[in-house]
Amino acid sequence: MEGIYKISKDNKPVYVGQSRNMFRRWMDHERGKYPSPEYKYEVLEECSENLSKREQYWISEYNLIEEGDNKKEPDPMYSYVLRQKKLRIRNLKRLDRLYSTFKGKACPCGQNEPEVLQYYPHHQQIKSAVMRHGKDSKEVKLAGGLAALSRVVCANCFARLWDAKFRKEDIPFYLKP
């Protein structure tokens, strides 16, 4: 049976739920938080459409968010924004972790701002491993190995080295390995 049901204790409603198969759902509840005969089960209405709307109607009818066990539905937009915010914070932390590995290091040209330093020539691999996994993963350990095989240079010098490699030009004196 599809529809909305109510669970009460001592004639006081404690929970309203919806289900496409109410009796099976009740068996789950009975084994869990609401054992019978302490808790009583009732069909409030049979319906097969707008289940969530009808459920919300009965939840507010019995004031079960305030006085019962029903929880406020999270606003989907709010949870989206929250998730994005968490992701942004996580990514910033991971970037910080990467920058912190440049502490005390400098490019041969003198640049030592961690935010513009990079690992030549493996920076992309190292950065994407850190951004995807944070710390403590096989990929990140591998990235650590690549970092040991790299030279720390600034973004400008990285580009010059990269260019020189493909044009087979002589690289600037101060960047010679």
Please say which residue, 8 or 111, places its beta carbon nearer to Zn ion: 111
Candidate list 41, 120, 157, 160; residue touching Zn ion; CB under 5 A: 157
Q: Which tokens belong to 154? A: 């600034």
Residue whose CB is less far from Zn ion, 22 or 107: 107
The reply to whether 111 sits near Zn ion by the rule CB under 5 A is yes
Q: How far is the CB of 126 from Zn ion (least distance, A)?
A: 18
Work out whether 47 is an interface residue with Zn ion (CB under 5 A): no
DSSP three-state, residue 66: helix
Do residues 44 and 16 lie in contact, with contact meaning Cβ atoms separated by under 8 Å?
Answer: yes
Beta strands in the chain (DSSP E): 3-9, 12-19, 39-46, 117-120, 151-154
Q: How many CB atoms lie within 10 A of CB 117?
A: 24
Quick note: the x/- pattern for Zn ion over 133-152, rule CB under 5 A, is --------------------
CA terminus-to-terminus distance, the chain? 76
Contact pick of 95, 109, 146, 171 for Zn ion (by CB under 5 A) = 109
- Judged by the rule CB under 5 A, the positions of this chain that interact with Zn ion are 107, 109, 111, 154, 157
